[in-house]
Amino acid sequence: MASSLLSHQMRYTVQRSLGLFVPRYRCVSKTATKSSLDFEYNGPSMKTEVPGPRSRQLMKQLNVIQNTDAIHFFCNYEDSRGNYLVDVDGNIMLDIYTQIASIPLGYNHPALFKVMQNPQNLSTFINRPALGILPPEHLPEEIERSLLSIAPRNLRKVQTMACGSCSNENAYKSIFIWYRNKERGNSKPSKKELDTCMINQEPGCPVYSILSFMGGFHGRTFGCLATTHSKSIHKLDIPSLDWPIAPFPKLKYPLEEYTRENAQEEARCLEEVEDLIVKYRKKGKNVAGIVIEPIQSEGGDNHASADFFKKLREIARKHGAAFQVDEVQTGGGSTGKFWAHEHWGMDDAADVVSFSKKMLTGGYFHKDELTPDGPYRIFNTWMGDPSKNLLLSEVLNIIKTEKLLDEVQKSGKALLNGLYDLQLRFPHIVSAARGVGTFCAIDAKNEQMRNTLIEKARSKGVVLGGCGERSIRFRPALVFKEHHAHLFLNIFNDILAELK
């Protein structure tokens, strides 16, 4: 694997030095300046419709093996660079969706190639350990260098995992173990508890719950799915748990214009949260934890104010429930701060913060008291992957040295201002532009129009993603600059003008 990557990098270097790598330039925007990343393409370049003939052929081939209904097109990852994703038909597209918000530095960042090329790192890439029993010598040092360097305030413990869902799933388990131990006091689990847990009965399996919010998304595994309420397609036919679901504030945008109405809406939701906690306690289903996204993403880029989160955190504390902030999608810098919850300005914002996507490894930070009290209570074979920590260290290094969080604030401002402008000029098509950093969204007038806009953008060389019923979400990499925002806005403007 390593040698093929080395040879690819060499091929690329040779192509460049021989002048064979000719960026295909399409002059779309007068305001778009040349890319600062000189290895990047200068703009989208479209050769076929998307999906093109080669993509369609591959879909047919894969469809024999598995369901391919969700596939948009097949990609050529070798040729993709920076903000540009190349497909198997040779189309070069500006990617503002980045593998569902999971590429921190764009495609094939040279610094990450170097990490792969370093002979000292090779064994970490080749030998994936069962971390919970046989960790490598450098694991503590590597975690300190990577994850602990960006640990949320007050959370000095971290457990790595493989993906977002298994991070949340294990975070919930930690919350339940902590909650049960609080109730037990100093005593050990009884024989009855040990026996009944084996047959899924109380008291060994206590009837606790996690309170979640309508429109929230926390993953697709069983426990996570009980707290996911964004779209029915994720949940249909899967048995689930009777856990409390509170309304998430439905705010009006722009937030500054509707402060009074929005505050009332948030107060209504907070009241409902407290009512549900009391109601479920009466039912014997104590709320052990509350889980929430700082910005509901899959559910439609729904925002709430810092004041809402502060009060919610207080409610959790008052009722002895752990407060978990799911930063799987919002974490890693795209809001202009490393963690979206930093925008709340709190010293003690959470008991648990889960992450994945742009962090390259899954996992969760947590308070000391949520550390499991014995072996194998929180455990799986891999429990993460040290090679991802290596890559993450380099990603964090680049974020720092290239001041990418400042860049995100600049390009995010350009993007959001552009979206505000477009919704003023095309109010019958788009509205409710919103966002923090580059973590932005806009609503189309209905679902069909949203899908049309995404398709038209793709045909003009821009990859976008949808969320909620009728929203478009913008999830560029951290190397998305102001000129990429202008490039996109010009293309989007043309699309909206054509639809007029």
Ligand X SMILES: Cc1ncc(COP(=O)(O)O)c(C=O)c1O
Using CB under 6 A as the criterion, which residues of the chain lie in contact with ligand X when the complex forms?
Answer: 100, 163-165, 168, 217-219, 293, 297-298, 326, 328-329, 356
* Chain centre distance of CA 198: 35
Nearest approach in angstroms of CB 477 to ligand X is 16
Nearest approach in angstroms of CB 172 to ligand X is 12
Find, among 160, 167, 287, the residue nearest to 223 by Cα.
167
Nearer to ligand X, 12 or 243 (CB): 243
Instruction: Report angle CA 485, 24, 2 to the nearest 5 degrees.
Output: 90
Nearer to ligand X, 168 or 411 (CB): 168
Nearer to ligand X, 164 or 204 (CB): 164
Nearest approach in angstroms of CB 295 to ligand X is 9
Q: Going by C-beta distance under 8 Å and a sequence separation of 6 or more, which residues neighbour residue 329?
A: 101, 164, 293, 295, 297, 298, 357, 475
Nearer to ligand X, 71 or 111 (CB): 71
Sheet holding 322-326, edge to edge: 157-161, 362-366, 352-355, 322-326, 287-292, 209-213, 245-246
Cβ contact 439:464 at 8 Å? no
3-class state of residue 375 by DSSP: coil
Nearest approach in angstroms of CB 393 to ligand X is 21
Nearest approach in angstroms of CB 274 to ligand X is 24
Nearer to ligand X, 295 or 429 (CB): 295
Phi, psi of 247 (to 5 degrees): -70, 140
**Angle of helix 2-17 versus helix 110-117 axis, rounded to 10:** 130
Residue nearest to ligand X (CB): 164
Nearest approach in angstroms of CB 306 to ligand X is 19
Q: Going by C-beta distance under 8 Å and a sequence separation of 6 or more, which residues neighbour residue 367?
A: 154, 155, 157, 351, 352
Instruction: Report angle CA 402, 27, 94 to the nearest 5 degrees.
Output: 50
Catalytic residues: 217, 326, 357, 381
Which amino acid would we find at residue 442? I
Nearer to ligand X, 219 or 418 (CB): 219
**Angle of helix 404-425 versus helix 482-499 axis, rounded to 10:** 20
